[in-house]
Amino acid sequence: MPTRRPPDLPERDVTPEAIFQDRRRLVRLLALSPLALAACSPKGEAGAPTPAAPPPAPGTALSFTPNPAFHTQGPLTSWQDVTHYNNYYEFGTSKSDPALNSGAFKPRPWSVTVGGECEAPGIFALEDLIKGIPLEQRIYRHRCVEAWSMVIPWVGFPLAALLKRFKPTSRAKYVAFTTVDRPGQMPGLSYPVLDWPYREGLRIDEAMHPLALLAVGVYGRELPNQNGAPLRLVVPWKYGFKSTKAIVQIAFSETQPVTSWNQAAPDRYGFYANVNPDVGTVPWSQHTERRIAGSGFSLFGNRIATRLFNGYADQVAGLYAGMDLRRDY
Amino acid sequence: MRPLDAVGWSKPLLVLLALLPLALLVLAALHNALGPDPVSQLEKHTGIWALRLLLLTLAITPLRRFTGWNWLIRYRRMLGLFTFFYASVHLTVYLVIDLGGFWSQIFVEIAKKPYITVGFAAWLLLIPLAATSTRGMMRRLGRRWGQLHKLVYAIGVLAILHFVWQVKFGQTIAVREPVVYAAILAALLLARWRPRRRAAAISVRPAPARSPAPAPPP
């Protein structure tokens, strides 16, 4: 399938996080200066940088090439928010839990088991698995089913580039992904919230679509544990829960695999889970979303309209031609 | 009468105290200290304070009965009005800041999301109570004032539903919080029945030899 460049993507490179933050802080200071004076705020005066500035991201820096074909315009979500506000139930059900509870998780050494309908199955060390695949940076919109969204600079490679190495057979109609299951390092696993381990899946044509990404990094560095280290899926036109984290197993199958959220609450979470403003899920309607971007004073104007396929309709709508998206949600 | 003076004197303090949570929230918001999703924090805290004040309002009557501190009743209207105040701020934050720019969505939300439906209903029911909170209205309505203000029990139940219903699937820990508030509400509602039962219990208890008859129920 040819990749067309989405209409809202300029060629410019990403604004460095620090510069972006500075701009936000400046605007905030200007807007709040009367209040700041009244409140005798010790911070922010005399140009002293406030701790709101992003800390240097931990983790090893990765070498990658920005891919201008996948570049979302507009403010990025800050590194702090991307890494401290997310759902990863293996570390707890609150959105602050993953960052708090993932310290003991060991993302190395790592191996991935590949099986099912393919000619080259096996157990692969992560280093061997991704050897020779060039890393690129893509800035994607991320839409959670809870009706909040982010803009995130991932570092990774097309999922198709990896899957092709295993030579899926003609019977491989679906591909399933399983998250690691380590109760000792993942305290959330003690709660039977879902039928662990976490399993997700895609139809093979979805998985082979150029937008489907396997990420190993964010903000130019290796993934933090709480974001799915060391290897996670990013499927930007679907709700976030489709993007399996800490992948240890990839399996090709002829039949649709059982997926965790669909299994837990089939009326709420479909197998496809494509972002769709017209198909609501209890308890959230999906018409709009709250965009978490930047880390400045951001109380107002965060709500934006949700777009079909999270704004990637030009690229992916063809995958669902002839399907009733209300039924196959 | 000293208690009256003390109550009158303490009311402005109570006003300040009741405004304190909102003041702290606004300060935190201005200092960008509400985390990645400040709007949801504003919604959560204004909603919780509305519920807390509602429970405090409901606590006055049982407290009076058990302690005999009748002067407590003089704080009840203010607590009730602050319940309405925080509920209104809560709704305003949702409408103006959260839904900002997507006003028409409120109708979809009220119609389709059960937790919004009951929350909005609770706020609507608070309006007649706030409107009839004046002395003049109490006089004019007479007996019916008390009947009207029994609505507060329904409001309490709706508020709890509003809280429980939005806990997301599988949040076994997060569900504890609304359950605690539900238990407090249940206790406060039950406490309203207890005096009669206790009175009955007292009357069947064998009276001490010296007292000629059991004391009349309080």
Q: Name the residue among A107, A215, A239 with its Cα closest to residue A162.
A: A215
pLDDT (average), residues A134-161:
95
- Give the tokens for residue A106: 């060991």
Q: Among B71, B31, B36, B78, which residue's Cα sits nearest to residue B56?
A: B78
Query: A261 to chain B: nearest residue by CA?
Result: B169
Contact yes or no for B39 and A285 at CB 8 A: no
Query: HSE on the CB side for A63, CA within 13 Å?
Result: 3
Q: With beta carbons under 8 A apart, name residues in chain B contacting A260.
A: none
pTM to 2 decimal places: 0.78
| B159 Cα to chain A: minimum distance (Å) | 16
Chain B contact for A222 (CB, 8 A cutoff): no
Please give the share of chain A, as a percent, with pLDDT higher than 70.
Answer: 80
Directed axis angle between helix B38-67 and helix B151-164, to 10°?
A: 140
Q: What is the pLDDT of residues A261-284, one digit of tens each?
A: 999 888 889 999 999 998 876 556
pLDDT digits (tens, 9 = 90+) for B61-118: 999 998 999 999 999 999 999 999 999 999 999 998 888 878 777 888 888 888 999 9
Domain A17-320, what architecture? Answer: Alpha-Beta Complex (3.90)
State the average pLDDT over residues A298-312. Answer: 88
Select the residue of B30, B108, B171 nearest A93 (Cβ to Cβ): B171
Both tokens of A144, joined, read: 């959670």
State which residue of chain B sits closest to A25, comparing Cα positions: B32
A150, A284, A298, A307: which to substitute to probe chain B, counting the most B Cβ within 10 Å? A298
Angle at A278 between CA A274 and CA A280, to 5 degrees: 75
Q: How far apart are CA A107 and CA A231, in angstroms?
A: 9
Domain ranges of chain A: 17-320
Exposure class string for A72-99: b at 16+ Cβ within 10 A, else e: beebbbbbbbbbbbbbbbbbbbbbebbb
Does A301 touch chain B if contact means CB atoms closer than 8 Å?
A: yes
Helix (H) or strand (E) holding A187: none
CA distance A100 to A98: 5
- Interface predicted TM-score (ipTM) over 0.90: no
**Local structure of residue A45 (DSSP, 8 states):** G
Q: Which residues contact A224 (CB under 8 A, 6 or more apart)?
A: A58, A59, A83, A99, A102, A218
**CB contacts, 8 Å: A301 with chain B:** 100-101
